Chains A and B, each alone.
Chain A
Amino acid sequence: MASATRLSVRNIHKSFGTHEVLRGISLDAHDGDVISLLGASGSGKSTFLRCINLLEVADRGEIVVDGERIEMVTKNGRNVPASRKQVDRIRAELGMVFQSFNLWSHMTILDNVIEGPLHVLKRPRAECIAEAEALLEKVGIAEKRHAYPAHLSGGQQQRAAIARALAMKPKVMLFDEPTSALDPELVGEVLRVMRSLAEEGMTMLVVTHEMSFARNVSNRVIFMRSGEIDSDGTPEELFGKGGSPAFRQFIGTFGS
């Protein structure tokens, strides 16, 4: 039996003004899938990721998270979510990691991590703290739990942001270029955390420029070009002989 479908996206379209950024993207992520989304800047991969948790609202298309379809209605000619409550609930089930971390600067690292479970999920404080400390231990910054984001390196901040997302016990993790804002020497520590998550069976969608991650950690690679899926397959297929000419040219620019 095939494993459960955690995320199913059908025919997503999105335009900014007259510029059509996404031209009908569909994707299914099953339990434990680690999908790398590759593409040149402007290919729509970040917009696509942001459409999944409705930070951007797609003009058309369907999103189903763990069997629950996000209800949309048309209001003043625009496609909008029907229920804010449902959007909040779905977002709570999708962990998002941003390119520039986006930690809450006025809170300590521990407070950043417990914020969601405590105030969104309304769970008991003691439990939230215990779990947050375990997560910070896991991402290797337990000793920084009382520090503020500004006092951490970029790599530490991104690991804290991953812990913050994991604290919500998400069904799918979305990573939006998680290492692009980091100094080269700090990329490895973040990738190691993501790799161990993948090995634990977390379902992950990763927009990235890290070819080694796409190749060695993910079980599926999607290459986007001009708002469409150009190539879709296992890393072996794409990095082997199956990649399209455009994909070959793209990875060529990375010198791999």
Chain B
Amino acid sequence: MDIPFLFQTMKTLLAAVPMTLALFSLSVLFGGLLALLVVWMRVGGNPVLSRFARGYIFVFRGSPLLIQMFLVFYGLGQFGFIRHSFVWPALREPFVCAVLSLALCTAGYTAEIFRFGLRAVPPREIEAARAIGMSGFLLVRRIIAPIAFRHALPAYSTEIVMMVKSTALASLVTVWEVTGVAQRLISQTYRTMEVFLCAAIIYLVLNFLILQAMALLEHRLSPHRRAAAPLVPGSLPVSR
């Protein structure tokens, strides 16, 4: 085993991790916000918006992310009104295109995940909130969203891990993230196995950390689903 080569490869690939993390965090952030908008349209009660949201979810879940990314990167420039608009300087950037298509795609999946979370909110608990005078945004913010988010969290963790892996596709629109840099190294050294192995280890470590964080969050948010905490000194004994 060529330890110095592996060490050198790891070093080069690690330098690309900030780019991978930037793609990941920005697309999860914007995708999440967009998902909130889509799920609001989907369940908000307006039939036109609801149909639009259904269509959005179908298109972005039903077609390959790579093709979506190519359409954004190579396709948008063909429209004169986009090329001449103020967004063009941004859309010319491969990084912006990659984040945009990753966010658009994850929003479709995340909207469905959030919708299932919403469906799991017990109507009785919503009724209890209405009965004390809550409605509208207050009801959503205090009761519906916290319960829905807890239900959605396991599926959402899976989606987030998928997003880390999906950032690899950005290499195909010339963004130099971990996979892109790995491919460049391979074309220089022809040592496919070692380089991709190093890249895979980086993704595994990233996802391990993210999954740990999500598990911690889930644990913190669900004390009500665990058995009652052991008695702390000074508290009264349990009756019955």
Contact = CB atoms under 8 A, between A and B. Distances in A.
Interface of A: 53, 55, 84, 87-92, 94, 96, 98, 100, 102-107, 115-116, 119-120, 143, 147-151, 153, 161, 164-165, 168
Contact of A116 (B133, B221, B224): B133
Nearest to A85: B135
A84 B124 contact: no
A143 B236 contact: yes
Closest 8 CB pairs of A and B: A92-B133, A148-B224, A102-B128, A96-B131, A116-B132, A151-B228, A143-B236, A88-B133
Nearest to A96: B131
Best-surrounded residue of B125, B128, B221 (most CB of chain A within 10 A): B128
A134 to B, nearest CB: 17
Interface string B183-225: 0000000000000000000000000000000000000011111
Contacts of B224: 105-107, 148-151
Given A84-B135, A106-B150, A120-B132, A55 B127 contact: yes
Contacts of A98: 124, 127-128, 131
Given A84-B136, A119-B134, A119-B138, A153 B240 contact: yes
A91 B130 contact: yes
A231 B127 CA distance: 31
B143 A120 contact: no
A58 B132 CA distance: 19
Nearest to B125: A104
Contacts of B63: none
A102 to B, nearest CB: 4
A104 B136 contact: no
Contacts of B228: 147-148, 151
A105 B133 contact: no
B124 A106 contact: no
Nearest to B240: A153
B133 A100 contact: no
Contacts, number: 81
Contacts of A104: 125, 128-129, 143, 147
B235 interface: yes
Given A106-B150, A115-B142, A153-B240, A143 B235 contact: yes
A91 B133 contact: yes
B131 A120 contact: no
B146 interface: yes
A90 B125 CA distance: 19
Nearest to A174: B131
Contacts of A148: 223-224, 228
Contacts of A91: 130-133
Contacts of A96: 128, 131-132
A102 B134 contact: no
25 contacts: A53-B131, A88-B134, A89-B133, A91-B133, A92-B132, A96-B128, A96-B131, A98-B127, A98-B131, A104-B125, A104-B128, A104-B143, A105-B125, A105-B147, A106-B221, A106-B222, A115-B142, A116-B134, A119-B134, A143-B236, A148-B223, A148-B224, A148-B228, A165-B132, A168-B133
A81 to B, nearest CB: 11
Nearest to B237: A143
Contacts of B127: 55, 98, 102
Contacts of A105: 122, 125, 147, 224
B147 A106 contact: yes
Given A106-B147, A151-B228, A88 B135 contact: yes
Nearest to B133: A92
A105 B146 CA distance: 11
Nearest to A93: B133
A147 B150 CA distance: 18
Contacts of A151: 224, 227-228
